Chain A
């Protein structure tokens, strides 16, 4: 083989045709390609549909990819020290060529990821896609949601501005409210009893390594489960229409192409229940759409970053709390909860930090986690949006979602200095930002 031929073979292995001429070429693109081999060779038409999934899961994964790349680049310009962190932000905004764009895109992609992950969760709920054997993947999804929120939290601490400092203060004081081990948790999180260099460094390492690593691992597992569970729940109505019960996995260890043709490989398990007209080749039907979603998501975050600058408050100042001090929008409902759930019992007052900061979110998370087993709606309504027979379940979810959104909107628009309620139209008193 000449060097030219060898280069050609390598090129073919790393790329693929977006317009395969034959089914053979289609299948080959998936199985032999480094980037695509984790896709199934064929997917159900419904799984790839725009209307069913809205591609929200894919969009959140793409946002996470954007966050990884922009984040890695930001690491060249950021110093995780209480003395230099804020200066790094100013450098990015004013001294580094297009540094502002990098920072904007990282911040806005993070906000978008939190939003899209919540919407993805709503989609999975409204289509009943967490039922039956998919319950386990619902739990993995909840873990991903938590990891996403923690990644955002640790992320906006790093600029070491007023938002960061007071978020660490409030966040670790909520942790302190945990019974018995609270003080200890706070001590470990901060690496001391006061907020300083240790705390920044700990949150930095969590943000740039541990949380992304956890998200990547869970993401891979999430995807693997989707395939194990026979694709998106959108295939369930087709399965029922074909009235084929899922077959037990044939006893085989073969993951090979031979197993694929014999129908004895685990991958084949679900697709054997679907018929040929239900499925399309992943290449190009999935790959093209994925590329399109990538371009749309990337360009939207880019556009957003061109139109609005990432927030940056004054440098961290332990003496002065901004008035009002508001968390980013996705934590505002929790801020409202901690501010309003202190309960007096006799002479004792149980802090809102414990009730609204730990107990209520804990209960919400627990209920969400066991919901697949609480859900008593009749089976056979999976993979369809808002089926009539799941009206009650969907109403409960909508109500909780609506309350959270209402609290967020209320805190954005109506909470003013000293956390007072100011109705729209009334003006807030001017508050000095510094002493």
Chain B
């Protein structure tokens, strides 16, 4: 085939129409990646420190455990690291109903298919006196937070 001017202009014409078609398809596909998420924030407030009893308290809305030891607090995720079911607290361990993973009191995997320990989240005190958790911020096991005594 001879690369004539007529052929070249024809190829450019058809090619650009075809390209526009493909780009339009890609643009339609892009709509499936949402730009705005109407989801709960990763950083949220819990209750006031005094409202938690000693030991493990399950927060159903946030799917985590607030652990109080005297005046020290830490927060462990209740989402199984295997496939995301909610683990349950059974006095001395966490157990998952879906595939049988078990975790010790600090979230270490004892048995079952879970690949990683339950993550611990950063805890702080909000200016208005509530425990505040940042679930985007994992902290090392052994982390603890002691809320400063409110001035009487």
- Hey, which bits of chain A sit against chain B, CB under 8 A? 166, 169-170, 173-174, 187-188, 191-194, 196, 198, 318-325, 335, 338-342, 349-353, 357, 417-420, 431, 435
Q: How far is the CA of A335 from the CA of B98 in the complex (A)?
A: 9
Min CB distance A28 to B, Å, is: 45
Q: How far is the CA of A323 from the CA of B80 in the complex (A)?
A: 14
Chain B stretch 58-89: residues in CB contact (< 8 A) with chain A: 58, 60-61, 63, 82-86, 88
Q: Which residues of A contact B115 (CB under 8 A)?
A: 342, 349-353
Q: Which residues of B contact A324 (CB under 8 A)?
A: 97-98
Total A-B contacts with CB atoms under 8 angstroms apart: 102
Known interface pairs A321-B97, A342-B114, A419-B100. Does A193 touch B82 (Cβ–Cβ under 8 Å)?
A: no
- A–B Cβ pairs within 8 angstroms, 15 of them: A192-B34, A194-B39, A194-B40, A319-B60, A319-B63, A321-B96, A321-B98, A323-B88, A324-B97, A325-B97, A338-B82, A351-B115, A353-B113, A418-B95, A435-B58
A419 touching B97, Cβ below 8 Å: yes
Q: How far is the CA of A192 from the CA of B115 in the complex (A)?
A: 24
Q: How far is the CA of A427 from the CA of B116 in the complex (A)?
A: 32
Say yes or no for B47: interface residue by CB 8 A criterion: no
Q: For residue B80, which residue of chain A has the nearest CB?
A: A321
Q: Which residues of A contact B27 (CB under 8 A)?
A: none
B97 touching A418, Cβ below 8 Å: yes
B33 touching A320, Cβ below 8 Å: no
B33 touching A173, Cβ below 8 Å: no
Say yes or no for B99: interface residue by CB 8 A criterion: yes
Say yes or no for B37: interface residue by CB 8 A criterion: yes
A188 touching B32, Cβ below 8 Å: yes
B83 touching A321, Cβ below 8 Å: no
B83 is contacted by which of A196, A353, A420 (Cβ under 8 Å)?
A353
A322 touching B97, Cβ below 8 Å: yes
B98 touching A351, Cβ below 8 Å: no
Extra contacts besides A170-B83, A188-B33, A196-B39 (12): CB < 8 Å: A166-B98, A191-B32, A192-B37, A318-B86, A321-B97, A339-B100, A342-B82, A342-B112, A342-B115, A349-B116, A351-B115, A352-B99
Min CB distance B53 to A, Å, is: 16
B37 touching A321, Cβ below 8 Å: no
List of 8 A-B pairs having minimum Cβ-Cβ separation, nearest first:
A419-B100, A319-B60, A339-B99, A323-B97, A342-B113, A352-B113, A351-B115, A349-B115
A320 touching B99, Cβ below 8 Å: no
Say yes or no for B123: interface residue by CB 8 A criterion: no
A352 touching B86, Cβ below 8 Å: no
Known interface pairs A188-B33, A338-B83, A349-B115. Does A419 touch B98 (Cβ–Cβ under 8 Å)?
A: yes
Q: Which residues of B contact A174 (CB under 8 A)?
A: 83
Say yes or no for B109: interface residue by CB 8 A criterion: yes
A320 touching B86, Cβ below 8 Å: yes
Q: How far is the CA of A396 from the CA of B17 in the complex (A)?
A: 53
Q: Which residues of A contact B82 (CB under 8 A)?
A: 173, 338, 342, 351-353
A321 touching B86, Cβ below 8 Å: yes
Q: How far is the CA of A349 from the CA of B39 in the complex (A)?
A: 31
Q: How far is the CA of A350 from the CA of B33 in the complex (A)?
A: 29
Q: How far is the CA of A198 from the CA of B31 in the complex (A)?
A: 12
Interface centre among B33, B63, B98 (most CB of A within 10 A): B98
Q: Which residues of B contact A192 (CB under 8 A)?
A: 34, 37, 39
Q: Which residues of B contact A435 (CB under 8 A)?
A: 58, 60
Q: How far is the CA of A149 from the CA of B46 in the complex (A)?
A: 41
